[in-house]
Amino acid sequence: MSTTLVWSTIAIYVVIAIVIAYLSRNGRQNSMSGYFLGERKLNGFVSALSYSATTYSAFMLVGLAGLTYNGGVGALGFEIIYFMGVSLVAIFGPRFWLVGKKYGYVTPSEMLGDRYQNKWVAVVAAVASSLFLIPYSAVQLTGIGYLLQGVTNDAIPYTTGVIIATVLALVFSYIAGIRSVAWTDSLQSLIMIITSTIVVILIVNSLGGVSGFFASIEANDPQALAVPGNGFFNFWTFLGLTIPWFFFSISNPQVSQRLFMPASLKSLRHMLLGFLVFGLIYTVVSVVWGFSASILFPGLENADLATPMLLSSDVVPPILGVIVMVGIMAAAISTIDSILLTLSSLFSRDVYRNVKGEANDRKQLMIGKIVIPIIAVLAFLFAQLELDLIAVLSVASSAGLIVVVPAIIGTFFWKRGTAPGVIVSVTISSILVIYIEATGGLLLGLKSGIWGIIVATFLFIVVSITTQPPEQKANEFIDYVKGRMKNKK
């Protein structure tokens, strides 16, 4: 793929995206809810596309394709589990939206702190999220670095790609906060889904159609269509990867924070339905992509280069390949800038406000904006490690974020939950996950995500039973949600 063509297309995308970001500005973004939540006024269409672009980032067409390349059809099962987990949005989405609207929550951690009536709950949850989200944002940068490096045959170095992504994420974050991110996400989602689908049709057609495609897989690697196949997806590996992914929609704050943003419950439903349609198409596209690369380019040392190899192959017209490349790059950037905004809001709203006692909304917003480039630099430095297998790294980050799930479930469904239960469960299980990941990723043969959810649940229940719950707030909070949910039905 011509380096000039790549640079030219990136330049065109940047100009269009910046124009859209500026057009999205709606008045002065001078409040926390305005800058980080778009004043809770996003419509269903924009919410769906933005939610899709934020969730389906470099993980999909780079990470999931690489996972399929390495492990075969088990990767499809892995992603289907995520789809099952999206059902959690149907349960928790309306509840997040209702309490966000009533109590004015800006972040999920703030919600936890208020529900359990303890500011340190918010602080601990925010710090834990930051520890695991910075590596996850670095994964997106890594995906872009590998992508540009691969499609240009090293003409654009890995580090250059990472720098481009970091700068663009900062620009989009600063222009209008979440509004510019949401509208550029919409552009990116449409580009991504249309062009990648066209490419898959071309690739499958070049392999002799659907029957020829499956015949090629069987001839090339028959184990790829079986589970565990080549052994990559044994039962415990599959379980360890899928459990964090099942809870992704409520455990990852950059995703759950978006449940506060739709203008109405109707917009929230449209967001969920649109996301499901988008996700189903994109999952099939990504898996077919990985299988196609395994047929055309067997023996790659780094499976994450499967997508760049496909895009730069003779099967894909250069202009279409470069548009898809920009779409993938844009999707990864949308995840990064969403994480930048979420992390900065967590720091200013949940850490700075509670530690310093700063109640002024504009001061919190100022601190949040100052923190954004610091977080971006940390993600950039982490990305310089050039770690392999993006999909596995993404799940490792989600394994750390899963430790807050028991507290979130208790927020809405268990009046007996307490602040000490949250603090102890999140702190100890976070440390355990970090230890497991730092010492090889396994403890007694089980991945960190399994240990994280088991230990966090056990500690949350045991400590809560032995400590005093905030009865007044618990009753008010849960009874309000129950009442509104009944009226909604």
The 3-state DSSP class for residue 207 equals coil
Domain boundaries, the chain: 3-387
| Cis peptide bond prior to 262, omega within 30° of 0 | no
Structure tokens at 216: 């090629």
Full pLDDT tens readout for the chain, 489 residues: 678 888 898 898 888 888 877 776 665 566 788 778 877 887 877 788 777 777 776 667 777 888 888 888 888 887 888 878 888 888 999 999 999 999 999 999 999 999 999 999 999 999 998 888 877 777 778 778 877 887 788 788 888 888 888 888 888 777 767 777 777 777 777 777 788 888 888 888 888 888 888 888 888 877 777 777 677 777 777 887 788 888 888 888 888 888 898 888 888 888 888 888 888 888 888 888 888 888 888 888 777 778 878 877 888 888 888 888 887 787 778 778 888 888 888 988 888 888 887 677 788 888 888 888 888 888 888 777 655 544 445 566 778 889 999 999 999 999 999 999 999 999 999 999 888 887 877 788 888 888 999 999 999 999 999 999 998 999 999 999 999 888 765
Structure tokens at 342: 């979420």
Q: Which of 362, 370, 353 is nearest to 31 (CA)?
A: 362
Structure tokens at 331: 């999707």
The 3-state DSSP class for residue 278 equals helix
Q: Which are the contacts of 456, defined by CB distance < 8 A and separation ≥ 6? A: 402, 403, 404, 405, 406, 407, 425, 426, 429
Please say whether the beta carbons of 53 and 194 come within 8 A. no
The 3-state DSSP class for residue 115 equals helix
Work out the angle between the directed axes of helices 3-23 and 158-176 (0-180°, nearest 10): 10
Please say whether the beta carbons of 378 and 46 come within 8 A. no
The torsion angle over the Cα atoms of residues 114, 115, 121 and 123, rounded to 10 degrees, is -30
pTM, two decimal places:
0.84
Return the pLDDT at 225: 79
What is the DSSP secondary-structure string of 310-369?
HHTSTTS-HHHHHHHHHHHHHHHHHHHHHHHHHHHHIIIIIIIHHHHT---HHHHHHHHH
Return the pLDDT at 239: 82
Distance CA 180, CA 174 (A): 8
Sign, CA torsion 39/338/319/10: positive
Please say whether the beta carbons of 1 and 151 come within 8 A. yes
The two beta strands, 442-443 and 446-447, are antiparallel
Residue 229 backbone zone (phi > 0: left; psi -120 to 50: alpha; other: beta)? left
- 103: how many CB neighbours lie within 10 A of its CB? 13
Q: Which of 346, 477, 479, 466 is nearest to 418 (CA)?
A: 466
The 3-state DSSP class for residue 447 equals strand
Domain 3-387 homologous superfamily, CATH = Sodium/glucose cotransporter (1.20.1730.10)
Return the pLDDT at 161: 85
